[in-house]
Amino acid sequence: MTRGKTGWIRLAVASAATAAGLAALLAGAAFGLQAVTLPRPSVNQLLAAKTLHWLTAQHAIKSTAFVRGERVSSICVNATIGPLHAYPKRLHASLLVTGDRRLVETRFASFRLESTVREEDGPLPTVQAVLAGCPRALGRRIGRFLDDRAPVRAEHVFLRGATMLRLGFRRGHSRLLVIVNPRTFVPVAVRIPRLRTGWSYLALAKRHDLDGPELRLSPQLRLVVKEEA
């Protein structure tokens, strides 16, 4: 029996419909399987991830804190450091400038910049970098909480005449509070409650903030520290 042109078209359409139907059915089942079996992150964890996403796109942030009633301003820019004796590869870093003090913080170690580069011991430099809103240091701290799937609390707070969102991270003894703009997820203040420090208020650094003399490094230091902003 021979098949006419219409017959072939009908057969092709029927085959295509069956193929599409089968593929769609299986795709639906595959999607359903994932949706039913795998847990979803909490809404607050997703908010925190959005804040982190914003931080990863920043190169420089300025901050203001009140220490013993005195206003202390800092500026932090992304940088790289190396090669150094103990660290032969260049490391992603944050260059934190507070007054005339300059600190370079990395995931592995921190360094004080004076006439030379001197390694700093202890966790304090990292804490300072987090409180100064250094995009890398603060991002790393939030990222660690999210890595561990630490629960994130979110509360509405009133700050500078606007409603903001306070994200609270807690894992064991480690805690972090970040106030973010609820529409843009931009962090505006940060605090580490365990240290009994006050809030540090953050803002995006502008071009003229980066032109200050404190950010100009000596030719010798420029061989190991390079700003990325």
Partner 1 sequence: MTAWLRERRAILAVAIGSRVLVLAAAAADHWLHWPKGPPPPHGASTSHTLSILSYWDGAWYRTVADHGYLLIPGRQSDPAFFPLFPIVLRGLNGLGLSFLTSGLLVANVAFVVGIVAFYEVSRRLLPLDVAKTSALLASLFPMSFVFSMTYPESLVLAALAVALVFALDGRWTLSAVAGAAAALGRPEAIFFALPLAAIAIGRARASGRVAGGRAIGAAFAPVASVATFPLYLGWALDNVSAWSHAQHAWGRAFSLDGIVHAFQQLHEPGSSPWLWRDVGFCLIYLGLLASARRVGISWPWLVASAALLLLPLTSGTFVSDARFGLLALPVYWGAAALARRRVVRLPVLVVSAALLVAGTMTIPLANP
Instruction: By CB under 8 A, tell whether 31 contacts partner 1.
Output: yes
Residue 114 interacts with partner 1 (CB under 8 A): yes or no: no
Closer CB to partner 1, residue 58 or residue 98?
58
17 belongs to the binding site for partner 1 (CB under 8 A): yes
Nearest-approach distance from CB 212 to partner 1, in angstroms? 27
Nearer to partner 1, 82 or 125 (CB): 82
Verify binding: residue 9, partner 1, rule CB under 8 A.
no
Do residues 158 and 151 touch, judged by C-beta distance below 8 A?
no
Residue 53 within binding range of partner 1, rule CB under 8 A: yes
Place of tokens 């805690």: 175
Name which position in 2, 4, 5, 39 contacts partner 1 (CB under 8 A). 39
Q: Of residues 9, 19, 67, 204, which one binds partner 1 by CB under 8 A?
A: 19
**Three-state secondary structure readout of the chain:** CCCCHHHHHHHHHHHHHHHHHHHHHHHHHHHHHHHHHCCCCCHHHHHHHHHHHHHHCCCEEEEEEEECCEEEEEEEEEEEECCCCCCCCCEEEEEEEECCEEEEEECCCEEEECCCEEEECCCHHHHHHHHCCCHHHHHHHHHHHHHCCCCEEEEEEEECCEEEEEEEEEECCEEEEEEECCCCCCEEEEECHHHCCCCEEEEECCHHHHHCHHHCCCHHHHCCEEECC
Tokens representing 207? Answer: 């071009």
Residue 9 vs 162, nearer CB to partner 1: 9
Considering only 45-53, 70-78, 200-208, 211-219, which stretch makes contact with partner 1 by CB under 8 A?
Answer: 45-53
- From residue 53, how far is each of 101, 123, 124 by CA, in Å? 29, 25, 25
Residues 60-99 that bind partner 1 (CB under 8 A): 88-89
Q: In angstroms, what is the minimal distance from the CB of 112 to partner 1? A: 26
Nearer to partner 1, 41 or 198 (CB): 41
**Residues 132-151 close enough to bind partner 1 by CB under 8 A:** 139-140, 143, 146-149
Q: Which residues bind partner 1 (CB under 8 A)?
A: 11-12, 14-24, 26-27, 29-31, 33-35, 37-41, 45-46, 49, 52-53, 55-56, 88-89, 139-140, 143, 146-149
